[in-house]
Structure 1
């Protein structure tokens, strides 16, 4: 009699049989109705295991046995066996699919941390959405032409009404003196507005929770002239937003011309996530004789653990050469921004509680 085909054994194993069960079924199929001792000789299964193996095959519907002594084992038709197995598998798969989908639906969907959005109109809509969702702070570098859109100006007005801390760097991609003067007039004292003659990347950060970056050519009205590919990267990684915040400051904000700035009277209640922005304002206010009380939410750097502090700012470091931006409270506690390592506290949010001129 021919030996048992190893590939058939492996195929039956893939369908859920053990190796011994596959050998036994093929041995019976090849030899015809057989007793256990004959199956042992044909298959090579140990005598001590044969009855357990045959019982397993019966339960799975591959063979049947007579009541004779010794029992005679007969293989079921392979076509019937495999068709029954296929139906069981399909039913089992459908049951499993339903249960797994139920588990999936119960878990909030998480989008990938970085993805690409295409087409200028989709990118502009996404930038507007990021600005609308900002609760504490919004940093952006945008073409001036975007602010020609009345809907975008309404978004800025609404953000100001919610007391969002806004830094806006504009690229002069259109010559519209009235538009620029109108923006300065409307938002003077309520946000920081700067202008750059040389364009750079378009960037928008919303609360350091979501950010978007694309090329100037993608957004500018003249993009088609450059044959630009209209796509942008969107990220929900806080670490990446932190990097983009410093990129915006050092590469785009730092050398831009300031058109208007937040006034002290508007600062009460503002919340800062980017420490460079807060220390820039504090350095100026302290030099002008203002007292500023702040509330900090963050974590201890050495002791670890969440902390909330409130106190008066007595000293500020805003050193661009050393990339050092931190502050000191009246009790001696030093506070840095996100990823701070030298200070006592790493601030996640800095809220201005009060701003007033020092009494002489």
Structure 2
């Protein structure tokens, strides 16, 4: 490679590391040919002599060069294994500080009520950002339907969330799957050998639908409209999860879990009832008769299911009475539940 072309490549690398054009030329020249006087430095770097001292001063402030105490002064680059690494580290932490300031300002300025609807993002980076945002936003329940090879990219953050969040994974497609990878990050793993869009549903706060993930420009639809979210939640539970093969479900070792969807809470309750325990539960929702907010504490004593009407009900003993609890959209039960906490302890019952 000709020297001129080689130098140009090095200049571009230096600029990608955060140096301006003249800074990059002077710095690379000193790395290759220093120590140099200001006159020689200007000639070799092709930086105008009228600008050379400003550039030298800037590089000195960045800790990248040192200056001799002789006449004429000579300049050389500090060992890049130390100086350049420190410079990049400072840039990173400075950038992180500014990013945090920007995030804090944006959070304070953000409207309390975000506009509901459907938002679209295109491209790998944009889609990846939305997936990570959806996963990290989950506080207690995370529902995911995805292809194993795609989901492997998010095992790290799933592992972190699994400490406090109940994660249900429906693995899609006919590919050979190493289930152990996913069992380690979730309460529940199922396999549905079908082609379908990929979903991420955190706490029923949004539904993220990902399509074209194998193409150069995947698309993500972020859905925050409650009616549309309900439709996709039904699709997830009644088509993907219900028809999937159960690979793993961890209910034995759980002290407690909170759910946004009644279906998984009922599975947890039925398991504990089968062990002779009517578990302690907490329900947050609204009264079906008038829409007022309601919260109850009690013991889950039974469950009821009517597949023909698509009705599933949790019966909770509160004091001397039994309260019927339905999921989102409930119209028969007394309470429509938005959040259900199931605990592993309760009162003993006869099986």
Name the TM-score class by shorter chain. Answer: 0.5 to 0.7
CA contact (8 A) 2:170 2:244 kept: yes
Distance in 1 of aligned mates of 2:308 and 2:113: 43
Q: Which has the higher strand share?
A: 2
**Whole-Å Cα distance in 2 between the matches of residues 200 and 311 of structure 1?**
39
CA contact (8 A) 1:168 1:193 kept: yes
Query: Considering only aligned residues, what root-mean-square deviation do their CA atoms show, in Å?
Result: 2.4
Mapping for residues 277-296 of structure 1, pairs under 5 Å? 277-296=264-283
Contact 2:146 2:198 in 1 (8 A): yes
3-state SS, counterpart of residue 141 of structure 1? strand
SS at match of 1:293: strand
Q: Is the 8 Å Cα contact of residues 275 and 336 (structure 1) preserved in structure 2?
A: yes
Equivalent pairs counted in the alignment come to: 239
Alignment of 1:118-267 (within 5 A): 118-149=122-153, 152-161=154-163, 163-172=164-173, 174-177=175-178, 180-184=179-183, 186-187=184-185, 190-215=186-211, 218-220=212-214, 223=215, 230-266=218-254
Does the CA contact (< 8 Å) of 2:251 and 2:271 recur in 1? no
Aligned counterparts of 1:116 and 1:295: Cα–Cα separation in 2 = 36
- CA distance in structure 2 between the partners assigned to 1:332 and 1:106 by the alignment: 42
Distance 1:116 1:313, change over 3 A: same
Structure 1 unaligned blocks of 5 or more: 1-104
Larger radius of gyration: 1
Is residue 2:332 matched to residue 1:345?
no
2-side partners of 1:248 and 1:137: how far apart?
Answer: 14
1:276 is matched with which residue: 259, 263, 268? 263
Which residue is equivalent to 2:310?
323
Q: Which secondary structure does the structure 2 equivalent of 1:208 belong to? A: coil
TM (norm. structure 1) is 0.61
